[in-house]
Structure 1
Amino acid sequence: MPRIVFFGLKGGVGRSTAMAMLAYDLARTGKRVLLIDFDLESPGLSGLLLPPDRFADFGMVDWFIEDAVGQGDAVFDRKSLPRSLR
């Protein structure tokens, strides 16, 4: 399974925008795309790709913290995921 990773230390350089545009292009050509935003300071993919009523209440960091203390399933709602990711 091919992977494309966008990373860097400096914020505000357009990684989320570039990743969203590449994902959109790949999806338009029929590729299956999964985006994971691990930006701890300012995750931006939700704001670029989802309407405001679909923004997540919790992020990946919340899930990792809650999973470490045994509450991961309470934070990560599997029912909200597309069927292919459950």
Structure 2
Amino acid sequence: MTDEPSGVAVEEAAMPQKRVSSKQRKLSLEEYRTTYLQVPKIVNRKPVFVSETVRDELDKVVRYLGGKGMSASGLIENLVRLHLDAYRDDIEQWCKL
């Protein structure tokens, strides 16, 4: 439920979930692997700390979905690179504020 500007509560319509076929799920998995689970070349490594819970989850993803040579550090590297690429222009503008 959300509040209208008039203070009247309005009930939001529940969105029906789309069924995902196993073919779509496999394509989605391949896209995920291609995007996030490619072994990156990391030079001049530096430590980065995450909570034990996050590290356990990352290890699980890499263990079950990643290929040979993939690690939690590699997954973090890929995630951060993609994030920085996606927000590079915004970050530059925000730094000027």
Smaller-chain TM-score bracket: under 0.3
- Higher relative contact order (Cα pairs below 8 Å, separated by 6+ residues): 2
Q: Max radius of gyration: which structure?
A: 2
User: Higher helix proportion, which one?
Assistant: 2
From the two aligned structures, give the one with the greater strand fraction.
Answer: 2
**Structure 1-normalised TM-score?**
0.24
